[in-house]
Structure 1
Amino acid sequence: MNIDLSGKTALVTGSTRGIGHAIATGLARAGAAVIITGRRQEDVDQAITRLRAAVPGAQARGFAADLGTAAGFDALKAAEPTVDILVNNLGIFNPQPFEKIDDEEWERFFQINVMSGVRASRHYLPDMRRKNWGRVVFISSESALNIPADMIHYGFTKTGNLAVSRGLAKSLAGTGITVNAVLPGPTLSEGVHQMVAPGVDADAARRLADAFVKTHRSSSILQRVATPEEVANMVVYVCSPQASATTGAALRVDGGVVDTIA
């Protein structure tokens, strides 16, 4: 399959590292002009440098803002008013006992994990409607279905991603715009590396992360962590012209962690 996104502009929120950066790199490799976002200009600049090294000749630019706030998104939409592909990847996670999660933390997770995607979709969809073509992808998680006892606030927001994604897809029935959610399972991003194996090298981190999956996600069929690139491959496909009949879907890249045949 030859995925060609030449002439398309893709915005990937939270794309200076991890799954977001792998998605931005995959989209650039398919020919899209990519907009990388992060909170710090230094991180954005470094991410663009890495992407261009990985994809020579890539069209990439960046924008630094806190997209977990309305003010940050207002700045972004002024700088980048239209896109063809929107990947709502921005998100945070943090294991925490339920009784220790205060109102402020619940609100922080909701604003970053849910409202960032709501604001972006609300802004960019009208232009997609005018062109009758667009791709919107929400990066949810298998935790949307298997709510983790130690990250209930995170699971809640990821379930919210599924609700928004499905509802938006239905609202765009009969158009050339698709809206889907992608649900990664345990993935060895930088954030997961620091959570399960802080201070160790990549090979050791993978071994420890694989052991974590076998112990704490024992329903995994894959029996190992995924790579950010494996998740990105699904996202690039969903953004492609070839995926025109896939919409309103919750597409799992979870290694079979969710124990269901549906």
Structure 2
Amino acid sequence: MQIELSGKQALITGSTAGIGLAIATGLAEAGAQVTIVGRDQNKLDQTQAILVKTTGRNDIKTILADAGSAEGCQTIIAQQPDVDILVNNLGIYGGKPFFEIEDADWETIYQINVMSGIRLSRHYAKGMQSRGWGRIQFISSESALNIPAEMVHYGVSKAALQGLSRGLAKVLAGSGVTVNTILPGPTRTEGVITMMADMARERGVTPEEMPGIFLRENRPSSLLQRFAEPEEVANLCVYVASEQASATTGAALRVEGGIVESIA
């Protein structure tokens, strides 16, 4: 299978590191003109340079904006009025006992994890619909199906993306625009590597040992029995963005290493 995205405009939020950067890399390598979004100009410049070197593309665009706010989304839309592929990757996470999750915590995680995707999709889907082609993706998580007790608010925000994606797919039925969620499992991003190192220090084990301990204690149903690499998640995202995935819409596509105990 040869995925060819030449001539397509792609925008990925939360794309200066981790899964977002891997998705941006994969889409650019497949021929799409990629726009990355971030809140730090230095980080954007560094990521742009990495993408140019990695992909050989000199058309990587950057937008300095906080996609987790209404103002930031307007900035993105003003600088990139139309796209063919929208990947709503921006998201935050963090453990906190349920009884300590205050209203402000719920509001923050909802604005960043959910409303960012709502605002951008509400705008870009119109253009996709009128052109008869488009791809919208929401990067969810296996935590949407297995709500983690240690961060209920995160799991709930990711579950909301499932409903949003399915509903928007229905709105765009028959238009040539597909809408899907991608459900990664534990993935070896920079943030997760730091979290594992912190946990290792607390437990008195090595950073190399900690992922295995984490999976045994927190994700014992994992069939992969290791953390995924960001590129492994991105591979699915690139396929879902392709012409070859034209019959895949309204779906929750799992790349979580078999953690979810379901045959459906």
Q: Shorter-chain TM-score category?
A: over 0.9
- Which aligned pairs between 1:13-162 and structure 2 lie closer than 5 A? 13-162=13-162
- Tell whether the 8 Å contact from 1:188 to 1:209 is kept in structure 2 after alignment: no
Q: CA deviation at 1:53?
A: 1.3
Provide the residue aligned with 1:4 in structure 2.
Answer: 4
Q: Which amino acid aligns with 2:100?
A: K
The answer to whether the Cα contact below 8 Å between 2:96 and 2:151 also exists between their aligned partners in 1 is: yes
For residues 248 and 140 of structure 2, what CA distance do their matches in structure 1 show? 17
Answer yes or no: is the 8 Å Cα contact 2:27–2:34 preserved in 1.
Answer: yes
Structure 2 stretches lacking a partner, 5+ long: 201-205
Identity value in percent: 57
**Following the alignment from structure 2 to structure 1, what is the Cα–Cα distance between the partners of residues 66 and 218?**
32
- Cα separation, partners in 2 of 1:121 and 1:184, compared to 1, 3 Å: same
Q: Please give the TM-score of this superposition, normalised by the length of structure 1.
A: 0.96
SS at match of 2:153: helix
Instruction: Give the superposition deviation at 1:88.
Output: 0.3
Is 1:134–1:178's contact at 8 Å kept on the other side of the alignment? yes
Number of matched pairs: 259
58 and 23 in structure 1: CA distance in 2 versus 1, 3 angstrom threshold: farther
Q: Please tell me the residue identity of whatever aligns with 2:122.
A: R
RMSD: 1.3
Between the aligned partners of 1:198 and 1:64, the Cα distance in structure 2 is 30
Shift of 1:207: 4.4
CA contact (8 A) 1:7 1:32 kept: yes
Q: Which consecutive residues of structure 1, in runs of 5 or more, have no partner in the other structure?
A: none
SS where residue 2 of structure 1 aligns? coil
1:73-101 Cα deviation digits (max 9, x unpaired): 11111111000000000000010001111
Q: Is the 8 A contact 2:142 2:183 kept in 1?
A: yes
Q: 2:246 aligns with which of 244, 247, 252?
A: 244
Matched-pair contact (CA < 8 Å) for 2:28–2:57: no
Q: CA 1:199/1:112 → structure 2, altered by over 3 Å: closer, same or farther?
A: same
Q: Which piece of structure 1 moves more, 81-90 or 206-215?
A: 206-215
Partners of 1:58 and 1:180 in 2: CA distance = 29
Measure the CA separation in 2 of the matches of 1:21 and 1:208.
24
After superposition, what is the alpha-carbon deviation per residue over 1:98-153, rounded to whole angstroms, capped at 9, x for unaligned? 11111111100000000000000001011101110000000000000000000000
- Aligned partner letter, 1:209: P
CA contact (8 A) 1:211 1:224 kept: no
Q: Using the alignment, how far apart are the partners of 1:80 and 1:12 within structure 2? A: 12
State the SS of the aligned residue for 2:149: coil
